[in-house]
Amino acid sequence: MCEVCKPYGELTTEQVEQQIEAISATFVGLPTVIGAPLLLAPEAWEEVARHQVEIGVRLCAEIPAIKTYTAPTSDDALVVAKAAGVWKYTATAADVETPQQRIRRKAQEQREAFLAEVDRRRKAGELPPVAI
Residues 89 and 103 in one domain: no
Residue 2 included in any domain: no
What DSSP designation does 88 have?
E
Tell me the residue range of the domain where 124 lies.
97-132
Residues 53 and 116 in one domain: no
Residue 3 included in any domain: no
Q: Helices (DSSP H) in the chain: which residue ranges?
A: 13-24, 42-54, 77-81, 99-123
Q: pLDDT higher for 42 or 106?
A: 106
Residues 85 and 122 in one domain: no
Model confidence pLDDT, tens digit, residues 5-43 = 888 899 999 999 999 988 887 887 676 666 666 778 888
Residues 102 and 132 in one domain: yes
Residue 37 included in any domain: yes
Residue 48 included in any domain: yes
d(CA 86, CA 71): 7
d(CA 74, CA 76): 5
Residues 88 and 103 in one domain: no
Model confidence pLDDT, tens digit, residues 36-93 = 667 788 888 899 999 999 999 998 877 777 887 777 676 666 555 555 677 788 877 7
Model confidence at 1: pLDDT above 70: no
Global pTM value: 0.57
